[in-house]
Amino acid sequence: GENVEQHPSTLSVQEGDSAVIKCTYSDSASNYFPWYKQELGKRPQLIIDIRSNVGEKKDQRIAVTLNKTAKHFSLHITETQPEDSAVYFCAASLTGGGNKLTFGTGTQLKVEL
Amino acid sequence: DSGVTQTPKHLITATGQRVTLRCSPRSGDLSVYWYQQSLDQGLQFLIQYYNGEERAKGNILERFSAQQFPDLHSELNLSSLELGDSALYFCASSSKGTAEGQYFGPGTRLTVT
């Protein structure tokens, strides 16, 4: 089955700096890659997703890039703010082939003032 | 607020008991997914229902079962509970039958004593 590895497990940045979280996946047939943000005690929130026919997608301060050849994808957050502090999860899925989202182990992002 | 509701918010029960967790999807969503989140296992996909039928199965134990009713709400039944079943249980819903565009509910925190 699919295996998703996520790095780093913790990331501390200064407010205003950029943050990058990286994930690799094992199944080359996976074609859907969402990112979720989970604040302490809250639900995971879908913040951005990308499909395998697209190399990059942006939404204001967040962007996701996908390298299908290397089987990795990354989340980029620019101009970080304290409210960006949370745990971020990447996931991968082969849509139409079991509909199972396999999650990475999460990255605890801390944005310091 | 994602529009997905879950009850109860908290549940404390003893080993060997049986509990039922309930989920109501967003209006118009036909898919419901169940996830287990624990500290050591991360976010694990359990099962998906689409318009009343089981669509995908993940790492769901035989002691666990689920169903989706004609009004599209879903229930997750956990029986013969063990200490290791203590976790956050989330449901998510989407308008698609695939893994795409999932919005999570607030979760049910289950504590087995």
- Taking 90 as the threshold, does the pLDDT of residue B61 lie above it? yes
pLDDT of residue A95: 65
Q: What residues form DSSP beta bridges with A35?
A: A48, A90
Contact B45 A49 (CB under 8 A): no
Whether residue B1 lies within 8 A of chain A, CB to CB, comes out as no
Contact B56 A98 (CB under 8 A): yes
Write out pLDDT tens, residues A50-70: 998 889 999 999 999 999 999
Q: Which of A44, A96, A102 has its CB closest to that of B98?
A: A96
Report which residue type is found at B17.
Q
Contact B100 A32 (CB under 8 A): yes
Residue A10 near residue A108 (C-beta atoms within 8 A) = yes
Write out pLDDT tens, residues B27-36: 999 999 999 9
pLDDT of residue A96: 60
Q: Which of A44, A45, A100 has its CB closest to that of B99?
A: A100
* Element counts in chain A: helices (H) and strands (E): 0, 11
- Taking 70 as the threshold, does the pLDDT of residue A98 lie above it? no
The lowest-confidence range among A39-43, A76-80, B65-69 is A39-43
Q: Give me the total of CB pairs closer than 8 Å, taking one residue from chain A and one from chain B.
A: 59
Cα angle A48-A49-A53, degrees, rounded to a multiple of 5: 145
Mean pLDDT across the stretch A28-52? 93
- Taking 80 as the threshold, does the pLDDT of residue A97 lie above it? no
| Chain A interface mutation, best of B34, B37, B43, B96, highest count of A Cβ atoms under 10 Å | B43
Peptide bond into A82 cis (omega under 30): no
Q: Which of B56, B101, B105 has its CB closest to that of A100?
A: B56
